[in-house]
Amino acid sequence: MLRGRTPVAAARGGWLSLPEGTVCLEDSVTSPDYRGRGVAPAAWSQIAAAAAEDGYATMVTKVRRPTRPLVVLSRERLGDPLRVVDRCDETSAREEFVRLEASGWKGRAGTAIGSTDAHRRCFDETSAAFAEAGRLQLLALEGGGRTVAMQWNLLAADAIFCLKVAHDEELASCSPGAQLEVGAIEAFHRRTDINWIDSCTTPDNELINRLWPDWRRIASVVVARKSLVGRSALAGLRSAVALRDRRRRGASSRGVASRLPGRVD
């Protein structure tokens, strides 16, 4: 915790004086074994309480975000400032999302929503139902009359689940998907009815790990019926999980799948 001043590269001498009564929480590192248990928010809360007891009125902290190359792109190629809008109520926006996703690698691989009739129906019906319930979020990063990235999210209780993202591959070098993720964070902080977001990505997603500081722990629970079939299924599942874990450890020892992101929690 910094009292009086804090290190900042752009400040004269590398240090920035803090206002009277202000402390700075410089950094925080959580052990990977404890991520997803709410350790960091609780610790920060108690550190803040200790600072308040010491007579401090404000705690500041600093986070970093990737520079936005699309800001430059918007001036040079799109002509307009980029903006993030929620087009959840527009049926045409859902069509646009499907087209955008199919125009990229998912379309070429045949894994886009529009590649399969059943998936397309599921997307349309889910979108319509959640939109009617006020629980659809369809974010679009736009500029110059062009949509460069979109994110299809569903809301449940006080959470947002980010299920699908698509971007214009012609602009891929400018990271439109990453820029929309940043916009989604800002949209999240503007809402008061939402307390958390699940990125729905793998734990080793480097982009998401750089953007979102917190993890949550997810567990799968299997309940077997008290029958021979149930017990057999459970035993088979245990063997499959053990085999999977052995394979992961093997991959880990070869340095393939064990790259834990260096991150702050």
Partner 1 sequence: MRETHVWYALELGRRPRVRLPGGLELRRGGSSDGKLVESLPTGSARQVESRLAQGAELWLVVEGGRPPLRAGCSAGGHPWPPRAAAG
**Where do contacts with partner 1 occur on this chain (CB under 8 A)?**
1-9, 13-15, 22, 25-34, 37-49, 51-52, 56-68, 185, 209-213, 260, 262-265
Query: Closest distance between partner 1 and the C-beta of residue 62, in Å?
Result: 5
Q: Could you give the CA distance from residue 159 to residue 263 in angstroms, rounded to a whole number? A: 23
CB of 183 vs partner 1, minimal distance in Å: 13
Least separation in angstroms between residue 60's CB and partner 1 is: 5
- Residue (76 or 186) nearer to partner 1, CB: 186
- In the complex, the smallest distance separating the C-beta of residue 117 from partner 1, rounded to whole angstroms, is 39
| Helix (H) or strand (E) segment spanning residue 189 | helix 176-190
In residues, how long is the chain? 265
| Closer of 6 and 147 to partner 1 (Cβ) | 6
Three-class secondary structure of residue 24 per DSSP: strand
CB of residue 149 to partner 1, shortest distance in Å: 19
Q: Whole-number minimum distance, CB 157 to partner 1, in Å?
A: 20
Q: Which is nearer to partner 1, 188 or 233 (CB)?
A: 188
Which C-beta is closer to partner 1: that of 48 or that of 233? Answer: 48
| Residue indicated by tokens 């610790």 | 43
Q: Are 181 and 167 in contact (CB under 8 A)?
A: no
Cα-based distances in Å from 19 to 22, 61, 157, 204: 6, 13, 39, 38
- Please state at what angle helix 117-132 crosses helix 91-102, rounded to 10 degrees: 150
**98 neighbors 111 (Cβ within 8 angstroms):** no
Query: Considering beta carbons, is residue 13 or 255 the nearer one to partner 1?
Result: 13
Cβ 140 to partner 1, closest distance in Å? Answer: 22
Q: What angle do CA 45, 38, 186 make, to 5 degrees?
A: 80
CA 70 – CA 197 distance, rounded (Å): 24
What are the residues facing 83 on neighbouring strands?
142
Query: Which C-beta is closer to partner 1: that of 189 or that of 226?
Result: 189
- How many whole angstroms separate alpha carbon 153 and alpha carbon 196? 13
> What tokens appear for 262 in the block?
């260096």
Looking at the Cβ atoms of 217 and 226, the one nearer to partner 1 is 217
